[in-house]
Structures are given as C-alpha cells and as structure tokens.
Amino acid sequence: MEAQNHEVAALVQKIAGLHAAIAKLPSLSPSPDVDALFTDLVMACVPPSPVDVTKLGPEAQKMREELIRLCSDAEGQLEAHYSDMLAAFDNPLDHLGRFPYFSNYINLSKLEYDLLVRYVPGLAPSRVAFVGSGPLPFSSLVLAARHLPNTSFDNYDMCSPANDRARKLVRADKDLRERMSFHTADVANLRDELSKYDVVFLAALVGMAAEDKAKVVAHLGRHMADGAALVVRSAHGARGFLYPIVDPEDIRRGGFDVLAVYHPDDEVINSVIIARKLDARANRLQMNGRAHTSGPVPIVSPPCKCCNMEAHALQKREEMTTKELSV
C-alpha cells in the first residue's frame, strides 16, 4: 500500500508539473512546444496506474479539472488546424492519415462497433446521432465508411465554425455527403429528434464536469426511443487526467441498462460504456432497485473475433426468422 501511495504521489506531482507548463503556453495552437508537452502528458497517463483521480484532494481535483479544459481547447485547435489542411485537397477523405492520431480513431471506432455488435445483437441502425462531433468528425467518418455503410449520421456540435469545417471534408464523397449531416445545436435543446435514433454516441468532452455529464445523460434518457443504444466515452485510471470519468450509475439513473464497460490498456485512451434505453416500466423497477440491471457494473474484456462471429451469426438467424415469419 505504501508503494502504491508513493507511485500515485509521484504521478500526481509529474502531472501537476506538466499542467503548470501547459498553462503558461501563450497559445494552444499546434506547435513544437505544444505538441511536445501534450505528448509527455499522454505518455504519463497511458500506462496502468493505481491512481483513482476521483479520490484526489481538492487541490489536485482543481488541477485536474483545469487540465481537462486545457486538453479540450488544445484538441479543438488541433482538429481545426488539420481540418483546414485536409479541406485544401480535392478529396479530403483520401488524406485522413495525415492526422497524427488517425489510427487511434480507427481503433476506437472499431472497438465501439464491436462492443455494440456483441452486446446489442441484431442491431442494424438506420439513423445514428453523434453528439460532440467537432471540426474533424473522425469517429462518424470511420463508423460510416467502415462499419455502418447503410446508416445515416446526424452530427451535433455547439460550434457553427466546427460544423462548417466538417461539411467540407465530405464534399467530394457522394455517399458520405448524402449520409452525413451536421447540425449546430446543444444536446440539451434536442427533444423529438432524439427519438428517431437507433444509436446515440456521446463524445468524451460533452459535459466535462461530472454533474453536467449526468444531466446530458438524463436528458437523453427522457427523449431517446425505448431500446435505443447509447455509447458513452469515458476514462479510467490516470487517463482521467485527460478526459472526464463517467460513473455508470449516472447512466443507470438516467434511465438506461448498462450493458458493458470496457477500459482499454493500449493506445486507445477512452473507456467505452454501452447502454440501452429502458422502457418506462423497466426504468421504474430499476429506480426502485427491483430490476436485474441494478447489479454490479459489467466490466468486460476486449471483444474477440469469436464473440463478433457469434453476434453476426445471431443477427443472421434473427433476419432469417423475420423473413420466414413474413412469408
């Protein structure tokens, strides 16, 4: 225990030093100094660590909150910079690999898709919403192009210039241009629209404070369709210095059945939570503690090829059964 405490204290001290250096930067726009500091920060947070950032003292908590905001600002400026760079090409989508973290988005999107297939078998979404898409909507682009080729994507962001940048990226691709739309809106103001989606993805930086994230989830729970899937990006361990941590119990209290929680231990930074909107009766039972969904949080292992094959086989069987019933 003493060794663990020493390890945590050393890590917090290192993170605090990086926070101080980042806070002194005259700008968070991409530059050698900015890139070097954020690379050091990520490298410090990625390895497994015994730290529980939710239990740190007030001073460390304040530092962490400020650091997440700095990370958010830097990420936004980095994405805007590369979005403008890509938009200069005749077909921007042919050059996505120029973004330094593109492979991370490929891996994260595949992880989310595999988890959906595994825990929501038979899901064949016609419409998907991505809340917090930003100026460089890699997640939607990868999901639409590689995993959900028959699905329409509505991307929501509060920043109008971010949506303007995102639209330019799909201008030369007829298929994605027709299947992807971009809306400037606060999710808190969406109501009837939310009932139209089979899946809603919630980006990590939507509602950065824990109480704000819980409010967003509760709003989704009031307006999403019964049975619709929710994919929430979170963080775990030291990665909680980079992104907000979402409590699965807040998702349950928002009216969802938490199906799976996955914490990666590789270059993928974000944890992923898969949930499903309960109907009104099941939600009442859960709130009263009388439903099976109030059990332990289902922490899961990485989706394996076998699991994916089983899920696809189940989906095929369900499709065949549906066809037979319709004859």
Which CATH number is 261's domain given?
Answer: 3.40.50.150
Answer yes or no: do 291 and 145 share one domain.
Answer: yes
Q: Where is the domain boundary, 98, 131, 157?
A: 98
Answer yes or no: do 113 and 224 share one domain.
Answer: yes
Residue 327 lies in a domain: no
Answer yes or no: do 108 and 93 share one domain.
Answer: no
Answer yes or no: do 153 and 23 share one domain.
Answer: no
Residue 83 lies in a domain: yes
Going 29 to 35 to 40 to 45, the CA torsion angle's sign is positive
Select from 168, 97, 176 the least CA-distant residue to 143: 176
Whether this model's pTM surpasses 0.85: yes
Domain of residue 260, residue span: 102-320
Answer yes or no: do 139 and 270 share one domain.
Answer: yes
CB-based contact 157:133 (threshold 8 Å):
yes
Lay out the sheet containing 229-234: strands in order across: 180-184, 152-157, 127-131, 199-202, 229-234, 271-277, 256-262
Residue 130 lies in a domain: yes
Residue 215 lies in a domain: yes
Answer yes or no: do 127 and 263 share one domain.
Answer: yes
Q: What is the pLDDT along the chain (327 residues), one digit of tens a residue?
A: 677 888 999 999 999 999 999 999 999 999 999 999 999 999 999 999 999 999 999 999 999 999 999 999 999 999 999 999 999 999 999 999 999 999 999 999 999 999 999 999 888 999 999 999 999 999 999 999 999 999 999 999 999 999 999 999 999 999 999 999 999 999 999 999 999 999 999 999 998 777 889 999 999 999 999 999 999 999 999 999 999 999 999 999 999 999 999 999 888 999 999 999 998 666 666 556 555 455 677 888 766 543 444 444 434 443 443 333 233
- Residues making up the chain, counted from first to last: 327
Number of domains in the chain: 2
CB-based contact 49:223 (threshold 8 Å):
no
Cα separations in angstroms, 44 against 49, 101, 239:
10, 17, 9
CB atoms closer than 10 angstroms to residue 150: 9
Answer yes or no: do 37 and 122 share one domain.
Answer: no
Q: Where is the domain boundary, 98, 128, 163?
A: 98
Residue 326 lies in a domain: no
Answer yes or no: do 130 and 84 share one domain.
Answer: no
Answer yes or no: do 144 and 202 share one domain.
Answer: yes
Answer yes or no: do 113 and 254 share one domain.
Answer: yes
Residue 325 lies in a domain: no
CB atoms closer than 10 angstroms to residue 100: 12
